[in-house]
Structure 1
Amino acid sequence: MIWTSELFALVAVTFLLAGTVKGIIGMALPTVSLGILAATLDLKEAIVLMLVPSFVTNVWQAIIGGHFVSLLRRFWLLLASMGLGIWFATEALKIEDTAGLKTVLGMTLIIYGAFSLVKPGMPPVHRYENRLSPLIGLATGALAGLSGSTVLPVVPYLQALKMPRDEFVQAMGICFSVAALSLGLSLQSKQLLPMSLGFLSTIGVLPALVGMIIGQSIRKRLSEYRFKQVFFVSVIILGGYIVTHTYIL
């Protein structure tokens, strides 16, 4: 990839926007950044650029909150199976034509946005947690390895466990941090992580953090419910654009 002023501007604006969204609703930096970057760049490049800002912003969320150790003990099997799923699924990124994988990403965004808007009643899953966690982890890891997206099905699953809000937010931070780290290690082992892109991904950390500060300031004066509605509709539109752009435009 040739570094240009346009590329730097794309990275800066993307992570500033993604960080702002995360500052407002407490999540979605990988979703926003990956969606925007994949709409303009190759999917493999988009995934690599997303890694460092995603890890840095989520690892803080993972550690702070007072439940880190207990959540690791509770979800270690989910996290381990997620890493395993990512490791095997990233083999698909070795192919030259990633149109099919972009479609997976686009459809994942559409389903995620629609699910979040509709908020269907989730059946209680506490009794089956030990059996479901490794399956959810594998499925999330497989989708993450194929498309870079780490939201499905782990976020709805965590919601169905009906944890207290602080634990839920911290559990998401842990899952997203492990996913970003696993993606990075897997891509590096398969020689799909160019140093130049890794450096550019590191540059994206600063605008992401600035965006989070801006978002936290905006959140105090904005209806979070209304913003989430607009955001998830935008996610659906972005997913539709990625699918359409891949095959038609």
Structure 2
Amino acid sequence: MGLPTVAMGLLGMFMPLPIAAALLVLPSFVTNVLQLFTGPSVKMIVSRLWLMMLLIVVGTVAASSLIITVNPAWSAFALGTALIVYAVFAMFSPSLTVSEASEKWLSPVIGGVTGIITGATGVFVMPAVPFLQSLGLQKDELVQALGLSFTVSTVALAAGLYLHDAFRVEQLSLSLFSLVPALAGMWLGQKVRARISARRFRQCFLLFLMVLGLELVSRPFV
């Protein structure tokens, strides 16, 4: 969850968001596919969430022109807002439960909204993550469901950028090189997480997102 979210925020400080999103295609895809196949519930999760995934693709591709055409300062503002909203929500972690009946109509709505936000900012955690957390999935199932959502979002964003000539095949080589630090970062993060409490690790992660988001939100006003 942290890789594409943090990386988009950090890269967005130094380069246009379309370039940052293109750079993250392979690292995000590989790490999320690994997360998707960490358990035995892939078939069940795909069967349950396929409509949500379809709407993520539609929304992302439809909105991907925004990340390209909008003024970079305001694109950064949108990205910063998405980071802050997610960090604040996750910090307080309100307990949400979605009933089976509500899930049927809410799933495609959440997929579409997530897709639009993904297409506009390159970040795909809201509102997909809170929704998936509210479905009562087991721990491993939730990890796989998040992996599925992020994998689909990554592929959809790459397709949207490609359709708008903002992602070229030759960029894959640079994206491939970024796999090494991404995987090294995952390894280091696991080491750090093993040495501090899960609560403290989570707090530091979310506070970092808030600070990053505030810097990006300030862009149009400086």
Pairwise TM-score range, normalised by the shorter structure: over 0.9
Name the counterpart of 1:194. 168
- 5+ long unaligned stretches in structure 2: none
What SS does the corresponding residue of 1:40 show, helix, strand or coil?
A: coil
Tell me if the contact between 2:19 and 2:166 (Cα under 8 Å) persists in the aligned partners.
no
Cα gap change, 1:108 to 1:94, in 2 (>3 Å): closer
Q: CA deviation at 1:99?
A: 2.4
| Structure 1 position 108 matched with structure 2 position 82 | yes
Q: 2:220 is aligned with what amino acid?
A: Y
Given that 1:45 and 1:197 are in contact with CA atoms closer than 8 Å, whether structure 2 keeps it comes out as no
Residue 232 of structure 1: how far off its partner (Å): 0.4
Quote the Cα distance in structure 1 between the aligned partners of 2:37 and 2:73.
36
Task: State which drifts further: 223-232 or 142-151.
Answer: 223-232
- Residue number among 177, 180, 201 corresponding to 2:151 in the alignment: 177
The normalised TM-score by structure 1 is: 0.85
Aligned residue runs from structure 1 range 82-231, under 5 A: 82-95=56-69, 97-231=71-205
Mapping of residues 4-43 of structure 1, within 5 Å: 27-43=1-17
1:45 match: 19
Cα distance in structure 1, aligned partners of 2:38 and 2:205 = 26
1:220, distance to aligned residue in structure 2 (A)? 2.1
Name the residue aligned to 1:19.
none
2:18–2:161: 8 Å Cα contact kept in structure 1?
no
SS at match of 1:193: coil
Moved over 6 A (4+): none
Structure 1 window deviating more from structure 2 (93-102 vs 35-44): it is: 93-102
Alpha-carbon distance in structure 2 between the residues aligned to 1:45 and 1:82: 21
TM-score by length of 2: 0.95
Deviations 1:32-79 (A, max 9, x none): 100100011111111111211001110111122100111000000000
Task: List gaps (5 residues or longer) in structure 1.
Answer: 1-26
User: Contact 2:74–2:220 (CA<8 Å) still a contact in 1?
Assistant: no
**43-52 vs 33-42, which moves further:** 43-52
TM-superposed CA distance for 1:238, in Å, is 0.4
What CA RMSD, in Å, does the superposition of the two structures yield over aligned residues?
Answer: 1.4
